[in-house]
């Protein structure tokens, strides 16, 4: 019968309409900004730099090795190395960045910088409400610097693994140092 | 007295005369699925000539990739066909793996099949939604399709960190392992998709308006489809049994049982129906892959992601992306960046038969014929 298909279709839309009052499967709209979804543990937006301790600039893990600068597909990272060296968590003398800029207008949030960083220094943030009345789209070192506690809060599992690996390395380095400090028996 | 000025020369390059009307459809036309323009010559309402104009979204994809490392091109491939980032990743890493001779662990192969088939599911569902929107069913089918797509995108976000620009696959495997409980969630959403498809078909397939609008419209003859290099559901709707998953058996596709749905007439309705049936087959592959998913490494630990320097040579890797044959042709000169990088985009090549399909139909049919080809302008223009 002509029109039967249309009637069947109307029944479907009717079912969906009625379902939208009680069935959570069909009630999918989230009333943002009043309601918010918890971000997924893996979610990523722009990168940030991690610091240890309490000094956001002095405690940066970044050693200005420029691997992320070279690997960034959009070339949005700019690093200028400082000339002075400081000891890192293993006691090795390392350079530090004098300038670390990320042009977030260019950054495509792919996460390759975090993937290639050998010092676990650059990680992916979860802030997404970055609109503002300013034009400051290039983020500098002090904007990017965030604490390790923050990292632990947004990516708990990943951060715990990183912290454990770093603690292990530190222990090994200390053991090596202690072994070197003991003078060989004459 | 001054002589009267000579008549002005006609402006523009219109080649039409008499009753014919030249209409420029797009680039900002809602039915063109992006920035795509068609110069349509109309006789009354009937199309007598159609010239596609593209390039509005050209972003120098290939040239950028020839300046980036092999790793750095993966996020750019997400942005080719921005609906199906996972399959784009897959095609690219497949050709790099061919070029550099990298083996992929079993588990990674299974995960690739799972995410690839999920991509096919929501791409086809959205295509059906968009097609119906082009026919005038504003909103409803598209919203239902998007509701299901969101569920799969949530899964992708839990897996890769991003909903659409996944950047998930790496040569030699995948970037990270599945989060806890992910396969169970995926199986649940797969089962939910089955009932969604039943609902979708009850809503659409029997609908008299859809059938009247799409049957016999935009017929693509078998010979023309083969000769012009059309691939994907558009080719199979014309009755050609050609699916790269069956022909090439790339990855581990020889382990799964699935059928290749074929159309008879090659009209818009067949192209719609082939996609609906393909979704059902994709669900079957998805269930088999989730069932057989082995444990093990996710990526070959020996593979160098940074500073990969494949031996000088060339490779062409291709997969059956939801839109057709997506291939990447790479030439290496032994250096850390590809010497030549070329994409074989299915959307662009499927678009070349647009004029032949539209000829003699009305302008309202042009919209749904274009919709049934399934183009994404990010891939057409690159």
Mutate to test the interface with B, among A110, A123, A154 (most CBs of B within 10 A): A110
Cβ(B109)–Cβ(B252) under 8 Å? yes
Phi then psi for B47, rounded to 5 degrees? -80, 125
Summarised one tens digit per residue, pLDDT across range A36-91 is 888 888 888 889 998 888 888 878 888 888 888 888 888 899 998 888 888 777 77
A66, part of any domain:
yes
Hey, are the CB atoms on A9 and B179 less than 8 Å from each other? no
A119, part of any domain:
yes
Question: How close does chain A come to B349, measured CA to CA in Å?
Answer: 28
What residues of B are in contact with residue A2 (Cβ under 8 Å)?
208
Provide the 8-state DSSP code for A60. B
A75, part of any domain:
yes
Phi then psi for B108, rounded to 5 degrees? -65, -40
Q: Is the pLDDT of residue B3 over 80?
A: no
| Termini Cα distance of chain B | 60
Pairing of strands A93-94, A138-139: unpaired
Token duo for residue B180 = 């806890």
Alpha carbon distance B211, B234 (integer Å): 18
Q: What is the predicted pLDDT for the residue at B12? A: 52
A167 at B interface, C-beta within 8 A? no
For the domain that residue A159 is a member of, what is the CATH number? 3.30.70.3270
A26, part of any domain:
no
Q: What is the enclosing helix (H) or strand (E) of A78?
A: strand A77-81
**Count of domains observed in chain A:** 1
A35, part of any domain:
no
Question: How close does chain A come to B357, measured CA to CA in Å?
Answer: 27
Alpha helices in chain B (DSSP H): 61-65, 74-78, 85-100, 106-135, 140-160, 182-204, 208-214, 222-227, 233-237, 244-247, 268-292, 346-351, 354-358, 363-373, 377-381
Q: What is the predicted pLDDT for the residue at B331? A: 92
Alpha carbon distance B126, B131 (integer Å): 8
State chain B's mean pLDDT as an integer.
86
Q: Residue A38 class from Cβ within 10 Å (0-12 exposed, 13-18 middle, 19+ buried)?
A: exposed
Summarised one tens digit per residue, pLDDT across range B95-124 is 999 888 888 888 899 999 999 999 999 999
Summarised one tens digit per residue, pLDDT across range B158-203 is 888 888 888 898 888 888 888 888 889 999 888 888 888 888 888 8
What residues of A are in contact with residue B203 (Cβ under 8 Å)?
8-9, 12-13
Average pLDDT estimate for B331-358:
89
A9, part of any domain:
no
Summarised one tens digit per residue, pLDDT across range A124-168 is 988 888 888 888 888 888 888 888 888 888 888 888 888 888 888
With CA atoms as reference, the chain B residue closest to A157 would be B179
Alpha carbon distance B182, B179 (integer Å): 6
Sorting pLDDT into bands at 50, 70 and 90, what band is B16? low
A147, part of any domain:
yes
Alpha carbon distance B220, B216 (integer Å): 10
Buried b / exposed e across A53-86, counting CB within 10 Å, b at 16+? eeeeeeebbbbbbebbbbbbbbebbbbeeeeeee
Question: How close does chain A come to B256, measured CA to CA in Å?
Answer: 30
Alpha carbon distance A142, A120 (integer Å): 18
Average pLDDT estimate for A26-37:
84
B228 at A interface, C-beta within 8 A? no
B336 at A interface, C-beta within 8 A? no
Sorting pLDDT into bands at 50, 70 and 90, what band is B92? very high
A9 at B interface, C-beta within 8 A? yes
Token duo for residue B247 = 């022909």
A29, part of any domain:
no
Mutate to test the interface with A, among B155, B162, B196 (most CBs of A within 10 A): B162
Domain span holding position A87: 47-181
Sorting pLDDT into bands at 50, 70 and 90, what band is B18? low
What residues of A are in contact with residue B74 (Cβ under 8 Å)?
73, 110, 112
Summarised one tens digit per residue, pLDDT across range B286-327 is 999 988 888 888 888 888 888 888 888 899 989 999 998 999
Hey, are the CB atoms on A110 and B306 less than 8 Å from each other? no
Q: Find, among A40, A35, A15, the residue nearest to A25 by Cα.
A: A15
Q: Is the pLDDT of residue B13 over 70?
A: no
Hey, are the CB atoms on A6 and B167 less than 8 Å from each other? no
Q: Is the pLDDT of residue B374 over 70?
A: yes
Sorting pLDDT into bands at 50, 70 and 90, what band is B10? low
- DSSP 3-state of B37: strand
Mutate to test the interface with B, among A3, A4, A5, A16 (most CBs of B within 10 A): A5
Q: What is the predicted pLDDT for the residue at B329? A: 93
Q: What is the predicted pLDDT for the residue at B91? A: 92
Alpha carbon distance B276, B280 (integer Å): 7
Summarised one tens digit per residue, pLDDT across range B222-242 is 898 899 989 989 899 998 999
- What is the DSSP code string of B306-359? TT--PPSEEEEEEEEETTEEEEEEEEE-SSSS-SEEEEE-HHHHHHTTHHHHHT
Cβ(B237)–Cβ(B274) under 8 Å? yes
């Amino acid at each position: 019968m002509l029109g039967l298909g249309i009637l069947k279709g109307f029944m479907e839309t009717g079912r969906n309409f009625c379902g939208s009052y009680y069935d959570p499967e069909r009630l999918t709209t989230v009333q943002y900004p009043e309601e918010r979804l918890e971000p997924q543990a893996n979610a990523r937006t722009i990168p940030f730099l991690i610091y240890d301790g309490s000094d956001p600039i002095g405690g940066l893990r970044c050693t200005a090795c420029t691997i992320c600068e070279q690997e960034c597909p959009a070339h949005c990272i700019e690093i200028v190395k400082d000339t002075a060296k400081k000891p890192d968590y293993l006691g090795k003398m390392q350079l530090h960045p004098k300038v670390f800029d990320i042009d977030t207008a260019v950054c495509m949030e792919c996460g390759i910088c975090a993937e290639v960083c050998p010092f676990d220094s650059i990680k992916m943030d979860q802030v997404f409400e970055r609109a503002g009345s300013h034009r400051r789209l290039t983020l500098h070192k002090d904007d990017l610097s965030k604490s390790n506690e923050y990292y632990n809060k947004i990516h708990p599992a990943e951060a715990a693994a990183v912290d454990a690996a770093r603690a292990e390395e530190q222990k090994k380095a200390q053991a090596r140092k202690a072994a070197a400090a003991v003078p060989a028996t004459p | 007295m001054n002589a009267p000025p000579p008549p002005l020369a006609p402006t523009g390059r219109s080649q039409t005369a008499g009753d014919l009307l030249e209409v420029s459809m797009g680039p900002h036309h809602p039915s063109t699925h992006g920035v795509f323009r068609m110069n349509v010559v109309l006789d009354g309402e009937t199309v007598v000539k159609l010239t596609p104009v593209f390039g509005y979204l050209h972003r120098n994809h290939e040239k950028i990739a020839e300046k980036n490392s092999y790793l750095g091109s993966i996020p750019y491939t997400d942005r080719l066909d921005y609906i199906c980032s996972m399959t784009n990743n897959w095609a690219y890493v497949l050709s790099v793996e061919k070029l550099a001779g990298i083996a992929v662990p079993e588990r990674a192969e299974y995960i690739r099949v799972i995410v690839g088939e999920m991509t096919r599911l929501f791409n086809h569902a959205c295509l059906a939604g968009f097609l119906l929107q082009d026919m005038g069913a504003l909103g409803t089918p598209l919203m239902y399709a998007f509701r299901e797509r969101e569920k799969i995108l949530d899964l992708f976000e839990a897996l890769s960190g991003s909903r659409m620009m996944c950047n998930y696959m790496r040569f030699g495997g995948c970037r990270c392992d599945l989060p806890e409980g992910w396969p169970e969630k995926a199986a649940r959403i797969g089962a939910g998709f089955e009932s969604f498809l039943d609902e979708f078909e009850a809503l659409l397939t029997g609908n008299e308006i859809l059938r009247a609008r799409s049957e016999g419209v935009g017929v693509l003859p078998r010979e023309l489809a083969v000769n012009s290099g059309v691939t994907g559901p558009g080719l199979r709707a014309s009755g050609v049994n050609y699916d790269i998953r069956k022909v090439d058996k790339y990855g581990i596709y020889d382990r799964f049982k699935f059928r290749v749905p074929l159309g008879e007439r090659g009209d818009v309705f067949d192209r719609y129906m082939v996609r609906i049936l393909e979704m059902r087959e994709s669900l079957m592959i998805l269930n088999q892959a989730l069932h057989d998913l082995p444990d093990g490494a996710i990526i070959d630990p020996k593979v160098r992601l940074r500073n990969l320097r494949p031996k000088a040579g060339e490779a062409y890797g291709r997969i059956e992306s939801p839109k057709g044959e997506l291939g990447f042709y790479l030439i290496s000169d032994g250096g850390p960046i590809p010497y030549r990088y070329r994409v074989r985009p299915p959307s662009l090549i499927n678009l070349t038969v647009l004029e032949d399909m539209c000829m003699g139909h009305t302008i309202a049919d042009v919209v749904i014929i274009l919709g049934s080809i399934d183009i994404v302008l990010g891939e057409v223009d690159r």
